[in-house]
Structure 1
């Protein structure tokens, strides 16, 4: 490929961006799995009773419910469907297809933060582990100590998860070049392959196995006692039901949910001092459901005509999303398709990772539906506000004319730790299917911006390393790569038309999500260290909404671990109570 016009390179860049969020629509079914305890909510009785009701069959909810089922009766309510048999979830080659599906039945529900960054929340059994790029890594030991978790049980819980869903990825040329480049510029030591979070450069785990099949949190239901669990799909919980204990504390007693046909069902807790409702609906869903149930800021709930159960002004506060910024590097040689495998864990608070892509052959060869299709919603040559069906159709047609060499290249990206910048969430309506309004305030804290700048400059050094030389054009400067990256609209934030773009401005203008948002029900603000909701009884929140900071370089391993960890702790408390 001979470097041509900026327009051609911009098209190539957009094509490769779509690797991260691409559209590989396909009707071919992937591997299937059935659980005899899993069924559609339309089959549920009008009224039922359980020891535990878990709201949300996601990354935390599945391992939690599977664990609790061994000594109690558990109802797991999931608003989405099954991931099994859906190739757009199970196949690595179809990564991103679910994220670009805007249908009401999509496993991904798109939302746009008030900051103007396009994002997604899961709507499928298995949660975000069905949609993400698959990277699997544990939290740092310091994180575990600071949170106050039992280190031994944490390690046992990680191992329990890893037996079913974690794998060592096969390293190929692009990922190897990035790893060696990181080591060459001093992001050391070389920690090899490990699930552990250690400063330096490592190869992490993946929930994609060696054949490219995704394994999700839903797979952890294999551990469940089939006689102790019921999983209902397409079950939208509208509110948690409370009763008063005397005149002081509200007590959760059950939930109201509707099935896909709109029929109302009620599930109640059986009588017992240890029985609980547990919310595991995710960083948007959990604070949203608490508010819809009457737990939240009084004035805000009154404005939506929601009966107040408890004035809890901290519900929905502390929302954070780790900003991600990527630099696209067109390659003079073909590169493999790879998701996140390598990470440089720096001392200054930024994580350096990489992804690469080329056009697939075989069953995913169509440019109408291939991984580089402009049908994707987050990243494309078509600006977000101009993505009409006609504009997308023209972009798809234009992409057909591109030479295959336009699809060579990849990204090196950085994500900052923390972050320190926080925002908030509010309801838009009383309908649980509607997205709430959320603001993350990217780079509000200057330390976050500093970490981004250092991360981008570290990427420049990797690109200039000898190890990476085969994958870059000598004639392209780093400034030209930044400008190339900015040539594709990536968000709805105001753009700055500067002749020379500073790295600080590049961070602000090109910020994207890497789907690691968290907060809204944080420990010490909404729940205690045992994840019990403050001010009420028989109610917990166990998921990423309780995090003050995102753990490790990717939170999914820790969220799955937390489900198992808390399931073991809750059952231990239950057994001790029964023995007393």
Structure 2
């Protein structure tokens, strides 16, 4: 754990910054506190209950920092990995394809290893293409079996999200997720977040189907308040549609298929509704109707897409239907090469020599928030471990 924590801290020093909170994100912060997502924890990278500001990879000048900033070694990116082939000596030989569709092999020195880091979708796919996976499935596709590892591509998860989007009556700043509300630090409740972004308005069609409106698309700013279920237990899987390495694999996450996840989504969407009812967001409501003798016009959100059920306070069934109809991804894919089933505790592929997988495909469960920091920590942790092993040998 000392090395794990040191690796996290190294990543934070190298590429994270404290964002400046204003405009829409400041309003969301106030709305979360008004909805009793307390205490206020200010800026912190720690996982704590309440409302906080998380770190960003954008510096003060707006430049985004990525994993490439952490590499102090020369890296050549010229090709797409197609397979990892087993040589007669039971070591691994990566086979790649360049932009001209010419194949190349990368030869390893004696004692060398291949570390596969293609992500939660790419790594299981490459193992399957290399003949490492369920033997029956591989044989059906005509792929020679190198190692019968039944759980490759299994036990996959993704954090589902649901939310409400609306068009504010006035222009607002464009912002990625900066403020987060964590009602319970043990992960029993959904996390609450918000973003604002620019989207093109779809063209309007007449009854005869010609397009009506300007030839160029119109763009509007959309604000979103969302909840996401951390640590989902609804399980999915990945499998090859064919033996063609350039064809995307088939993938199904089965979002909210387990009642535990659906129950947490219901609670999370109800929290979203409470945030939207806060006085802190009144300035983002649009005028509805016209002035009359009964008083001022009513103000409400100009919703884009599905609206909340009318009886959201009491009708769990209606909220569950809303969750199932509006569920979307947060792109936090993980699993497919989980420890104890596909890799061992040192990330070595079980039953295969000289091959490791180090990426989010080896997560047994999600960090709950954006997994980028955890993935980068894993890379640093594993490199430190490998260097220490090399020094002990020499």
Give the TM-score normalised by the residue count of structure 2.
0.87
Question: 1:323 Cα deviation (Å)?
Answer: 0.9
Instruction: Structure 2 unaligned segments of length 5 or more: list them.
Output: 288-297, 308-315
Determine the structure 1 residue equivalent to 2:156.
Answer: 319
Out of 530, 533, 547, the position equivalent to 2:349 is 533
**How big is the shift at 1:467?**
2.3
Structure 1: gaps spanning 5 or more residues? 1-149, 246-250, 358-370, 375-379, 383-390, 488-499
> Which secondary structure state, in structure 1, belongs to the residue aligned with residue 200 of structure 2?
coil
Alpha carbons 1:334, 1:409 under 8 Å: kept: no
Would you say the 8 A contact 1:373–1:396 is kept in 2? no
Say if 2:162 and 2:326, in contact at 8 Å, map to a contact too. yes
Q: 1:381 to 1:449 in 2, by over 3 A?
A: farther
Tell me the SS of whatever aligns to 1:468.
Answer: helix
1:565 aligns with 2:393: no
Equivalent residue, structure 2, for 1:486: 306
Does the residue aligned with 2:107 lie in a helix, a strand or coil? strand
Q: 1:575 aligns with which of 381, 385, 391?
A: 391
Query: 2 CA distance for matches of 1:381 and 1:555?
Result: 36
Count of residue pairs brought into register by the alignment: 369
Q: Which residue of 2 is the match for residue 139 of structure 1?
A: none
Contact 1:420–1:445 (CA under 8 A) maintained in structure 2 = yes
The higher relative CO (CA closer than 8 Å, separation ≥ 6) is in: 1
* Secondary structure at 2:136 match in 1: helix
Contact 1:425 1:437 survives alignment (8 Å): yes
Residues 181, 468 of structure 1: 8 Å contact kept: yes
Give the aligned partner of residue 79 of structure 2.
Answer: 235
Rg (Cα) greater in structure: 2
Pairing partner for 1:308 from 145, 150, 164:
145
Q: Does 1:352 align with 2:192?
A: yes
Measured in 2, the distance between the counterparts of 1:342 and 1:260 equals 41
Q: Could you report, residue by residue, the CA deviation over 1:95-132 in whole angstroms, capped at 9, with x for unpaired residues?
A: xxxxxxxxxxxxxxxxxxxxxxxxxxxxxxxxxxxxxx
Query: Equivalent residue of 2:106, what SS?
Result: strand
Is 1:509 matched with 2:325? yes
Q: Does the Cα contact within 8 Å between 2:117 and 2:359 map onto a contact in 1?
A: yes
User: Equivalent residue of 2:366, what SS?
Assistant: coil
Question: Which residue in 2 is equivalent to 1:457?
Answer: 270
Q: CA–CA distance in 2 between the matches of 1:427 and 1:450? A: 32
> CA 1:476/1:506 → structure 2, altered by over 3 Å: closer, same or farther?
farther
Mapped to 2, the partners of 1:485 and 1:469 lie a distance apart of: 20
1:188 aligns to what? 38
CA contact (8 A) 1:154 1:565 kept: yes
The CA deviation string for residues 259-301 of structure 1, in whole angstroms up to 9 with x for no partner, is 11122211122112xx211110011110010011110011110
Q: What is the rounded CA distance, in whole Å, between the counterparts of 1:202 and 1:353 in structure 2?
A: 10
Question: Does the alignment pair 1:328 with 2:170?
Answer: no
* Kept in 1: contact 2:87–2:93 (CA 8 A): no
Aligned counterpart, 1:523 = 339
Shift of 1:314: 0.2
Pairwise CA distance, 1:332: 3.2
Pairwise CA RMSD: 2.5
Inter-partner Cα distance in structure 2 for 1:198 and 1:423: 29
Is 1:259 the counterpart of 2:98 in the alignment? yes
Check the 8 A contact 1:353/1:413 in 2, yes or no: yes
Check if 1:422 corresponds to 2:273: no
Is 1:333–1:408's contact at 8 Å kept on the other side of the alignment? Answer: no
Give distance in 2, aligned partners of 1:172 and 1:534: 50
Matched, 1:170 2:7: no
Three-state SS of the structure 2 residue aligned to 1:339 is coil
